[in-house]
Amino acid sequence: MKTLTFFAVGFGLACATQTIAQDKPELTVYTYDSFVTEWGPGPKVKQAFEAECNCTLNLVAAGDGAALLARLQLEGAQSDADIVLGLDTNLTARAKATGLFAEHGQQKQDFNIPIEWHDTTFLPYDWGYFSFVYDNTKLENAPDSFEALAAMSDDFKIVIQDPRSSTPGLGLLLWVKAAYGDRAPEIWSGLAPHVLTVTKGWSEAYGMFLEGEADMVLSYTTSPAYHIFAENDATKSAALFNEGHYMQIEVSGKLAASDQPELADQFLAFMTTDKFQTLIPTTNWMYPVITLKDGLPSAFDTLIRPADSLIISADEVEAIKKEALEEWLTALSQ
Amino acid sequence: MVDRTQPITRITTFAGWGAIALLLAVSLGSLLAVWLNTDISAGFTPADFRIIRFTLTQAFLSALISVILAIPLARALARYDFRGRQLFITFLGASFILPVIVAVFGILAIWGRSGLFSNILQHPLNIYGLTGVILAHVFFNLPLATRLILQGWLSVPTEHFRLCATLGMTAKDVTKHIERPILHATLPAAFLTIFLLCITSFAVALTLGGGPRATTVELAIYQALRFDFDLPKAALFATFQFMLCTTIALLVLSFSKPTRFSIGLDRPAKRWDGQSRFHKYTDISLLTLAGLFLFLPLAAILIKGIGHLPKLPASVIPASINSLMISLTSATICISLALIIASLIIRLTKNSPRTARAIEGISFLSLVASPFVIGTGLFIMIFPFVSPFKLALPITALVNAIMALPFAIRIILPTMQRAEASYGRLADSLGMSQFARFRLAIWPRLKPSAGFAMGLAAALSMGDLGVITLFASPDNATLPLTMYRLMASYQTDAASAVALLLITISLTLFWIFDKGGRIEHRIR
C-alpha cells in the first residue's frame, strides 16, 4: 500500500512542478471552452498575437460565458487572469458590478455591428443573431415568427437551452421579451407544446437536432455557414423571424488587478484588428466587428440577414431577466 | 478484540481514521468552505420545493425500478451458466460507467423520436418526461443493482445449495431459505446507493425530462454556482440535500439485516435448483431482454463512432494519457481508502457497533455531495495557496477516488466481513503477523471484490466530467472534456469518435481489473 501512496504523491508533485520557468512576460486570457479547441480561434489567435508581442499568451478555458464570470467572481482580485474574453452583453452589467474590471482605454472605434457601441469597460470582438436552425430537406415552410411557430401542429418540436444554465437559453428568453414585452407569457404558453426538451447547454441541444430528435433548434443565424464551409452541406438553414432577431455581442474586458496592463491593452487593440477579426467567421462562426479586408467567406453570403436587430441594453438585462425567467418557468411547467 | 493474540498496531487504526478524515474534508469540508465564503441569508421559495419534490420522486422511482428488475436478472445470472456469461457480466457494467452525455445520445438512438423503435413503429415515440428520466436512470443503474445483488448471491457457500439439493428442496424453498435472507442483506444498500446517485442527477434529468418541470436540486445548485454566482443559495441547497439524504440513508440502512450463513470451502458455485425447463426459459428470456435494453444503446454509440475514428483529433493522445493517469491514480487511492475504512469498520464492529455503523453511514457521504459544490469548495480552499490549474490532475484524481469510495466500500465490506468471520479467528490463533494474515486469510477471498471495485473506480474516473471542468487548463484536458469541447465547436462527428475511444478505454480498464471470471470464489 505504501508504494501506492508514494506513487500517488509522486504523481501529484510531478504535476505541480510541470510549469517551466519562462522569461517572456505572460498574458493570461480566460475564455470559454470552444474558443480554445483546435477548431476554435484559440490556436491561431495565440500564434498571431505571440508573433508581435514577444510574450506568451495563455488561453485558459473555463466553461461557457456564464461559468467564466462565476469563475472570476470565485477568484476575485487574486485571479491570474489579465483579460476575460467571452462574456456577452447579457452579462456585462453583472460583470461590471463586481468591480473587477478596468476601463478598456481603447480609442473609440466605429464597429460594424448593428448598434452604437458606448461601453467603456468592455470591447466587442464578435456578434451574431440567435435563430432557429432547421433541416431544409425536411421542412419546406419554416415558421416566420414565434406566433407562426406556436401555430404549427403539435408534433412540430423544437429543442431549446435552459436559460438557467446556458447563454443561448438566456438569449431566447430575452428575445421573446424584447419582441413581445408583456405578451411574453402568452407567447411562451403557445410555444410550450412544441418544446420537446430543454438542455443544459448549446452542445446537447444542437447534437440532438443533428440526430433528428427535433425539427428545429435554438442556435445562430451563422450556424448554417459552418455546415456549408466545413462539411459542404447546404441542408441546414436558419428561420427568419418577422419580429427581428436578438443579438449576441461577445466582449472582452481587462482585469483591474492585471499584472500585465500594457500587454492587456496591446491584446485588446489587437483583438479589433484584421489579423484577429479575420479568424472569427470560420472558427467561432460569428460575425466580425470590423469590415474585413478580404470580406466574409462565401458561405456567409447565403445566410439570412434579419431586418430588425433586437437587444436589451446591458443595464436593463438583470431586472428583465428575473421577470422573464419566472414567466418562462410558469409557462413551461404547466 | 480479546480473541487476538496479536495486538492491533496503532498505524492501521490511525490510517483508518485518517481515511475517514480525508473523506470528510472533501465532502463536508468543501461544503463548509462554500458556506464560510457567504453571508447566510438564503431561503427556499415555493418553486424550490417543487424542485425538491421532483428530485425525490424521480430518484425513488428510478431506484425502486432498478432494484426490482435487478432481482430476477441477478438470479438468472447466478443460476444459469452459459457461454460468454463472464463477458456478459463485465459488459453489463458498461452503461454504468458511460459519461452522461454519451449515454443520453445512446438512449435517444434507440428510444428517441428518430430512434430505432420509432423507426420500427413508424411513429415517433415520445419518452421526454418522467418516463425518459426513469428510463435513463434504470439504464445507468440496473447493472450496478444487478452486480451488487449478484455479489450477495454468489457469496452463498456452494455447500448450502448442495444441502438444499440433498434435502430435495424446490426452487421455492431455496428462495425462502437462501435467496430471501440474501436479498434482505443486500437490497437496502443497493436501493440506497441508486437512490442517492439519482438525487444528484442533473443533465440526464433535464435533457430527458422535457423541460423545467424536470428540474433537480443539482441543477439549482449548478445555476446558483455557475450562472448566478449565488453561493448562499448553493450552500443552502447542498446542505439540505446532505441532511435529507443522510436521514434517508440511516432509515434505509436500518432495514438491512446481515446474513448468518456459515463458512464454505471456497468451491465453485453449482446450483441444483432452478434447472427445470420453465426456469431455464424464463432466465434466458430475461437475460435477452436485459441484454437488449442495456446493449442496444451501446451498439448505437459504437456504430456512430466507428466511422468517424479517422476524424480523431491529435489532442486525444495527451487527453487519453491524462485521463489514464487520473483514472489509475484515482482507482489506487480509492481502493486503498476502501480497504482501510472497511477494516476499521470491521474492527470497530465488535466493541463499538454504533461507531462502526456511523462510519458505514459516513462512507455514503460523497454520493450525496454535489460534485459542483465539492469542486467549488476545493477551489476556495486551494486558490489562496496555489494555482488550481497546477493541481488539476491530482485534485481530480483525489475527488474521483472519494466519489467512487461509496461503491468500493459497498463492494468490499461484505466480502471482507465474511472473510474475517470465516478465517479471521483461525489466522489469529495461528499467530499470523498482520501482513501475513491479510495476505493469506483475507486477500484471496477479497480479490474478486477488490478487482471489481477497482475496475469500477477506474472506469468511473475515466468518464468523469465533474471537478475537472473547474480546474482544467487547455493543456491538461481529459478525454471527456475533449469530447465536450468538440461538441461545443460543431465537431459532433469527432466527438462521437472520442466517445467511442473513451468507452473502449473505460471498459478495457474495467475488464482488466474485474475480469468477469473472478467474481466467483476460485481460490485454487
Structural domain includes residue B468 = yes
Whether B331 and B458 have beta carbons less than 8 Å apart is answered as yes
Amino acid at B355: T
Indicate the residue of A74, A162, A203 with minimum beta-carbon distance to B376: A74
**Pair (A97, A138) in one structural domain:** no
Residue with cell 446542505: B239
Q: Which of residues 38-97 of A touch B (CB under 8 A)?
A: 38-40, 42, 58-64, 66-67, 69-71, 73-75, 78, 80
Mean pLDDT of B408-429: 79
| B97 φ/ψ sector (left φ>0, alpha ψ -120 to 50, else beta) | alpha
**Pair (A148, A258) in one structural domain:** no
DSSP at B430: T
Compute the distance between CA of residue B384 and CA of residue B388 in angstroms, rounded to an integer.
9
Structural domain includes residue A311 = yes
Q: Does the pTM exceed 0.90?
A: no
Mean pLDDT of B97-109: 87
**Pair (A138, A229) in one structural domain:** yes
> Is A246's Cβ below 8 Å from some Cβ in B?
no
- Is 80 exceeded by the pLDDT of residue B7? no
**Pair (A315, A186) in one structural domain:** yes
DSSP at A240: P
Structural domain includes residue A21 = no
Q: What is each CA distance from B44 to B47, B215, B236, B246, in whole angstroms?
A: 8, 15, 9, 20
**Pair (A195, A327) in one structural domain:** yes
- Is 80 exceeded by the pLDDT of residue B467? no
Q: Which domain range does residue B149 map to? A: 45-306
The three grid cell numbers given for residue A292, joined into one nine-digit string: 474585413
**Pair (B424, B295) in one structural domain:** no
> Would you call A11 and B325 a contact, using CB atoms and an 8 Å cutoff?
yes
Confidence of residue B264 (pLDDT cuts 50, 70, 90): low
Say how many residues make up chain A: 334
Q: Which segment of A147-161, A234-248, B310-324, B346-360 scores lowest on mean pLDDT?
A: B346-360
Mean pLDDT of B289-316: 89
Q: What is the CATH number of the domain that holds A206?
A: 3.40.190.10
pLDDT, tens digit (0-9, with 9 covering 90-100), for B125-178: 888 989 999 999 999 899 989 988 887 777 777 777 777 777 777 777 777 777
Helix (H), strand (E), coil (C) string for B294-355: HHHHHHHHHHHHHCCHHHCCCCHHHHHHHHHHHHHHHHHHHHHHHHHHHHHHHHHHHHCHHH
pLDDT, tens digit (0-9, with 9 covering 90-100), for B198-228: 888 877 888 898 888 888 888 888 888 877 7
Indicate the residue of A8, A59, A211 with minimum beta-carbon distance to B105: A211
Cα B492–chain centre separation = 28
**Pair (B19, B84) in one structural domain:** no
**Pair (B162, B60) in one structural domain:** yes
> Would you call A12 and B128 a contact, using CB atoms and an 8 Å cutoff?
no
Using a CB-CB distance cutoff of 8 angstroms, which residues of chain A are in contact with residue B467?
Answer: none
Give percent helix, percent strand, percent coil of chain B, each to the nearest 5: 75, 0, 25
Number of folded domains that form chain A: 2
- Is 60 exceeded by the pLDDT of residue B109? yes
Q: Which domain range does residue A33 map to? A: 26-127+248-301
Whether B185 and B195 have beta carbons less than 8 Å apart is answered as no
**Pair (B364, B510) in one structural domain:** yes
Structural domain includes residue B4 = no
Which of A132-136, B405-409, B424-428, B487-491 has the largest mean confidence? A132-136
**Pair (A204, A324) in one structural domain:** yes
**Pair (A45, A121) in one structural domain:** yes
Compute the distance between CA of residue A101 and CA of residue A254 in angstroms, rounded to an integer.
6
Angle in degrees, CA B139, B145, B150, rounded to 5: 130
Compute the distance between CA of residue B143 and CA of residue B194 in angstroms, rounded to an integer.
11
How many C-beta atoms lie closer than 10 Å to residue B217's C-beta? 25
Using a CB-CB distance cutoff of 8 angstroms, which residues of chain B are in contact with residue A38?
Answer: 313-315
Residue with cell 454504533: B354
| Most A-contacting residue of B207, B323, B372 (CB-CB within 10 A), to test interface | B207
| CB-neighbour burial class of residue A183 (10 A; exposed 0-12, middle 13-18, buried 19+) | middle
Q: How far is A21 from chain B (nearest CA, A)?
A: 13
Provide the b/e sequence for A58-84 (b: ≥16 CB within 10 Å).
bbbbbbbbbbbbbbbebbeeebbbbbb
| Most B-contacting residue of A30, A33, A217, A223 (CB-CB within 10 A), to test interface | A33
> Is A269's Cβ below 8 Å from some Cβ in B?
no
User: B306, B324, B340 — which closes off a domain?
Assistant: B306
ipTM of this complex prediction, to 2 decimal places = 0.81
Residue with cell 440532438: A208
Chain A to chain B Cβ contacts (< 8 Å)? 178
pLDDT, tens digit (0-9, with 9 covering 90-100), for B368-407: 777 778 888 888 888 878 777 777 788 888 888 988 888 8
Structural domain includes residue A17 = no
Q: Which segment of A195-199, B207-211, B296-300, B431-435 scores lowest on mean pLDDT?
A: B431-435
Indicate the residue of A16, A61, A78 with minimum beta-carbon distance to B391: A16
* B225-228: long-range pairs with CB below 8 Å, 24+: B225/A70, B225/B372, B225/B373, B225/B376, B226/A63, B226/A66, B226/A67, B226/A70, B226/A165, B226/B372, B227/A66, B227/A67, B227/A70, B227/A164, B227/A165
- Is 90 exceeded by the pLDDT of residue B189? no
- Is 90 exceeded by the pLDDT of residue B447? no
Structural domain includes residue A123 = yes
Whether B382 and B391 have beta carbons less than 8 Å apart is answered as yes
Mean pLDDT by groups of 10 residues along chain A of 334 residues: 46 45 81 87 94 91 81 86 93 92 90 91 95 94 94 93 89 95 94 92 92 94 93 94 95 94 94 94 93 92 92 89 90 82
> Would you call B470 and A42 a contact, using CB atoms and an 8 Å cutoff?
no
> Is A226's Cβ below 8 Å from some Cβ in B?
yes
Compute the distance between CA of residue B356 and CA of residue B349 in angstroms, rounded to an integer.
5
pLDDT of residue B38: 61
Indicate the residue of A5, A165, A203 with minimum beta-carbon distance to B219: A165
At residue B266, the 3 state secondary structure works out as: coil
Number of folded domains that form chain B: 2
Cα A330–chain centre separation = 26
- Is 80 exceeded by the pLDDT of residue B270? no
